[in-house]
Amino acid sequence: MTPSTPRPSKAQRKSEAREQARLVMEDRQRREKRASFLIKWGVVAAVVAILVIVGLIVAGNIRTQVPDAGVAPAHGNEHGGIVLTSTTELAPATVDSVDVASLPEEAPNPADLPPGVAASGADEPVQVVAYVDVNCVHCANFERTHAEQIQTWLDEGAITFEYRNVAYLDPNSQTNYSSRGAAALACVADTAPQAYWDFSAALFGNFENGELSDVELADMAATATAGDISACLEEDTFRPWVKFGTQAAETYGITGTPTVFVDGEEVPDAVSDFATVAQEKIAAKS
């Protein structure tokens, strides 16, 4: 027969109960302390995250505060445009600097063509002026549809092609991509005019892949044999130029992109009709 276990005395039971209560209390205190620690550091992490976000917003706002006046690229004109005379040559500059303050508040006659848009002379190439935005899907479609023909006409001397790169779609971008892309094009025009056509084609051809960082823009320019434009981008050298060109386009009634003129005639639907209109103007000079 197995001997029975002695029953704990009343004092022992009280002692065991007190010990159990102590252990429960210590465990609760450990849990509360741990929770307090996590909450404290969670708040610290949240504050740090907020400060980082605010810093990025402030830095972004500072960068978007672009001056109204600045230098023009070496091959820029007084209308905010860059004129290709072939796929490896740009027309000489007609202005050293630009200033938004020089623009009228509104076009003197809204029915007039934008300044610098006109029919070419009898012995001159057909003039094409295109208002485009690097972040515009229709502009990318225009380039994809007509780039090969434009290249042929340029190298034959049948046309000149003026890009007026505007930043209409910056409000749709968290990185002001329209402005940065246009500024990158100006950087290339300034120091590597022979690479402008190739870089422009690559930039619009990249549309479906999304926005590019400044580093990626510089890499694309280098691939197009334009050299290193990193400093030009980092210093926002031609952001005032882009701001001027954009404001000039708005002032003179350009409401969307692409807006394309051929010898002073606006093409109704640039993506569909450009080649037909341009061919008619070229043929008329033959």
- Global pTM reads 0.78
Question: Which residues fall within 8 angstroms of residue 117, CB to CB, at 6 or more apart?
Answer: 127, 129, 261, 264
At 176-234, the pLDDT tens digits run 999 999 999 999 999 999 999 999 999 999 999 999 999 999 999 999 999 999 999 99
Contacts of 30 (CB under 8 A, 6+ apart): none
End-to-end alpha-carbon separation of the chain, Å?
127
Please report, for the chain, the start and end positions of each structural domain, with discontinuous segments joined by +. Answer: 9-65, 68-284
CATH 3.30.70.20 fits 68-284, yes or no: no
Q: Band the pLDDT of 10: cuts 50, 70, 90.
A: low
Mean pLDDT of 82-101: 97
- CA nearest 162: which of 125, 207, 204? 125
Q: Are 229 and 114 in contact (CB under 8 A)?
A: no
Q: What is the pLDDT of residues 16-27, one digit of tens each?
A: 667 676 766 777
159-165 and 126-132: which strand pairing? parallel
Strand 97-99 and strand 69-71: pairing? antiparallel
Both structure tokens of 116: 């610098």
Token pair belonging to 132:
């485009």
Cα–Cα distances in angstroms (integers) from residue 157 to residues 107, 266, 282, in the given order: 32, 21, 10
- The H or E element containing residue 129 is strand 126-132
Is the pLDDT confidence value at 270 over 80?
yes
Is residue 179 within 8 Å of residue 173, measured between CB atoms? no
